[in-house]
Amino acid sequence: MSSEIRALVGRGTRFEGRLVFEQRARIEGALRGEVWGEGILVLGEGADVDATIEVGTLIVRAGTLRGEVQARELIEVHPDAKVYANITAPVIDLAKGCVFEGRCTMSSVAGTPAPEPSRS
């Protein structure tokens, strides 16, 4: 998968509706609505997102995210990020210093609960 950004909602830009992408997208502006993608979504400095998101990987480097998030592979939340959302992914990395308020569900496959830990 290419690391080249294929879609950009830049600073000073407002987008309302459904954003669909295939490889990599970055948001640094305001977005309201839905985001769906096979690849990686990066939220950067200045991002103000209120959306239902379903992507392969979500990386929240900075900015604010509100809504519902489902990632098929990974969710990373970095120290400068604020997340007020319910998030679901097989791997979730919440960095020290980030703000997170919501429900966090780790599943082996998106939509499928992870097995209960053994108590032996």
Would you state the pLDDT for residue 4? 73
Exposure class string for 21-43: b at 16+ Cβ within 10 A, else e: bebbbbbbbbbeeebebebbbbb
Of 47-56, 75-84, 109-118, where does mean pLDDT reach its minimum?
Answer: 109-118
pLDDT computed for residue 110 by the predictor: 47
Indicate whether 2 pLDDT > 60. no
Tokens 């990974």: give the residue: 74
Tokens linked to 18: 């459904």
Summarize the confidence of residues 100-106 as an average pLDDT: 94
Q: Rounded to two decimals, what is the model's pTM?
A: 0.85
User: Residue 108: pLDDT above 70?
Assistant: no
The pLDDT of 5-18, averaged and rounded, is: 86
Nearest Cα to Cα of residue 99 among 78, 117, 114: 78
Q: Give the burial class of 103: count Cβ atoms within 10 A of its Cβ; 0-12 exposed, 13-18 middle, 19 or more buried.
A: exposed
